Amino acid sequence: MEAEAIVLDTTEHGESDLIITFFSQKTGRLSAIAKGAKRSKKRFVNKLEIFTFLQISYEQKNNRSLAFLNEAELHNAFPNLRTHFEQYFAASIVREFLLLGIKDSEPEEKIFRLSLWALHNLNKGFPPKPILALFLIHYFGHIGYRPDLESCGFCENRISKRMRYSFDSASGRLVCGSCSGYKRYGMELSHGTIKLLHTAQNLPLERLHRVKATGPILKEALTLLHNFGRQIFQRDIVSWRLLHHSYPGKRENKPG
Ligand SMILES: [Zn+2]
């Protein structure tokens, strides 16, 4: 079998083998053993690295069993992700969300394209935080958690400039000021953030890079996406910590 695949994880197996977790375009999450990959590096040299985009050839008895990796051809190693901290941290968060959200033997064509879009743009040196925010708002939609950013999730009234809103991560809904009353629901959102996420949500991948996100709006959007992601998967997003350390003493970086 042949497939395009992104390397999400590698573990050593015995003295000479590696077990690779791929995100395969055809089958979603795929685990494959690369025999001798540790000892003789010739066949897989520099290819079985995290984030690498490959064309793989493999054998698999059934959908659930461990595949046997025959060959791997390099499409893109995304080398800049390995040498630039900020790009690396954002790519690591993308990777962590993929490991949490993609399933065995389920084709996820849209998520696959979205992931390549994120890795390509990070590799090209686009500011990583906006790329991450745009990736996440689309990713959550693809896995069935598309927040409704057009109306209050409780009274269903359309968003109005005169109303204040917050986002309730637990239900993935916007709450307007009259519905929340004295009760606090999650984090308060500015209209700029709602607009940014709503615009991004509705843009196709080819036009997504045109969305400009900076400053407090970007910060707020990322906080929302982080909280919502933790809520969806009911766990901490370990690599998010790296992002906070990625700009020591600096303000948000401005896109070039
Ligand atoms: Zn309401």
Tens-digit pLDDT profile for residues 85-141: 999 999 999 999 999 999 987 889 999 999 999 999 999 999 999 999 999 999 999
- Give the global pTM: 0.91
CA 116 to ligand 1 center in whole angstroms:
37
Average pLDDT, the chain: 90
pLDDT digits (tens, 9 = 90+) for 39-98: 766 778 778 999 999 999 999 988 778 999 999 999 999 999 999 999 999 999 999 999
CA 182 to ligand 1 center in whole angstroms:
13
Q: Pull the structure tokens for residue 179.
A: 């519905």
Neighbours of ion ligand 1 (CB under 5 A): 152, 154-155, 176, 179
Closest CA to 19 of 10, 6, 29, 28: 10
Give the per-residue pLDDT at 107: 83
> What Cα–Cα distance (Å) separates residue 233 from each residue in 90, 129, 222, 230, 237?
18, 21, 16, 5, 9
The half-sphere exposure of 178 on its side-chain side, counting CA atoms within 13 A, is 11
CA 63 to ligand 1 center in whole angstroms:
45
Domains in the chain, CATH or no CATH each: 1-77 (2.40.50.140), 80-256 (1.20.1440.120)
CA 236 to ligand 1 center in whole angstroms:
29
Looking at per-residue confidence, does 41 or 161 come out higher?
161
